[in-house]
Amino acid sequence: MSHLRFAHFSDPHLPLEPDKPRGWQWLSKRCLSYASWRRKRRAIHDPAITQALVSDVKRAMPEHIVVTGDIANLALPGEFQRGAAWLAGLGAGAAVSYVPGNHDALAFLPHEQGLGLWDAHMRDDDGRVMFPYCRIRGPVAFIGLNSGVPSPLGLATGRLGAAQIAGLETLLSALGQRGLCRIILLHHPVAAGAVPWRKRLADAPTLRAVLARTGAELLLHGHAHRGIYAALAGPGGLIPTLTMPSASARRHGRYPQARWQMIAVEDQGTSGWRIEACVRTLTGDPALGQRPDFAAFARYVFLLPKAAEIKVRSA
Ligand SMILES: [Fe+2]
């Protein structure tokens, strides 16, 4: 029986400095977002925390790493250049899977100056750059979706679009028939009420309808900057979804400090999938002169039927 251990974290929000919007770049949502970064976000997101988190992840030696969006803050060209170097430091393209967040798509940027610089971490197994992408590692099929779209002022919504959702449905059906553990990577949480209206995934109802037909074994999210466990309806029972807080955050207001999770997937044959998520949380706040480190925080275990078994039972 095969298995895979992989790490998941989200929303690292790497430092914006030395960038700031220039010239025409002020004529966009970046203007307000820059004010927000200067006023509060800069004091919340600390690169020393991200560095400690990445060290903790590497010490645990995962077989793969997934990051569910928001490396950037204002989607400025310099952020994509520094983000490319940071991703390369995390691991090779084949070892690290990334999906974009709303901050990576805050305002329009030509592909070659923006997301194109991170292509190596968003390629399909056959080398294509497209969404949904599919990467098979052991018994797991990672399916990457792109919900990052520029949204109007005051909103942080996401959208997949009809073509991406149709492609996902085809992919989920095929991967389920092949007996793979289907894990969806998507920045915006999908469960109803998981995030406020202004942060929602606009086509979440359509996506939930697809998942109710095809099933999936797990969804991993970011965006909320909170830890959320929720479940969606699937054809053979509930589909778990796990959302991680920001990987660079100090504890602030009602938002928790940084966390990451190690997820172990085990193929238990006709008994189905055993998925165990061990969440680790930040201890020590560098802003208070403490050394940032990580410790065990929570554990989730899911025992899930395989897609093929569900069909047999319902036949
Ligand atoms: Fe974020």
Ligand 1 centre to CA of 231 (Å) is 22
Ligand 1 centre to CA of 103 (Å) is 7
pLDDT of 41 reads 81
CB under 5 Å of ion ligand 1: residues: 11, 70
pLDDT of 16 reads 78
Ligand 1 centre to CA of 299 (Å) is 23
Ligand 1 centre to CA of 24 (Å) is 24
Ligand 1 centre to CA of 93 (Å) is 22
Ligand 1 centre to CA of 130 (Å) is 22
Ligand 1 centre to CA of 188 (Å) is 10
DSSP the chain: --EEEEEEEB------TT----GGGGSSTHHHHHHHIIIIIHHHB-HHHHHHHHHHHHHT--SEEEE-S-S-SS--HHHHHHHHHHHHHH--TTTEEE---TGGGSS---GGGTGGGGGGGSB-TTS-B-SSEEEEETTEEEEE--------TT---B---HHHHHHHHHHHHHHHHTT-EEEEE-SS--STTSS-GGG-BTTHHHHHHHHHHH--SEEEE-SSSS-EEEEEEETTEEEEEEE--BTTBPPBTTBPPPEEEEEEEEE-GGG-EEEEEEEEEEES-GGGTPPPEEEEEEEEEEEE--HHHHHHHH-
pLDDT of 22 reads 67
pLDDT by position in tens, the chain (length 315): 699 999 999 999 998 777 666 666 656 667 777 777 777 887 799 999 999 999 999 999 999 999 999 999 999 999 999 999 999 999 999 999 999 999 999 888 899 999 999 999 999 999 999 999 999 999 999 999 999 988 877 888 999 999 999 999 999 999 999 999 999 999 999 999 999 999 999 999 999 999 999 999 999 999 999 999 999 999 989 999 999 999 999 998 889 999 999 999 999 999 999 999 999 999 999 989 999 999 999 999 999 999 877 754 443
Neighbours of 75 (CB within 10 A): 28
* Tokens standing for residue 308: 């093929």
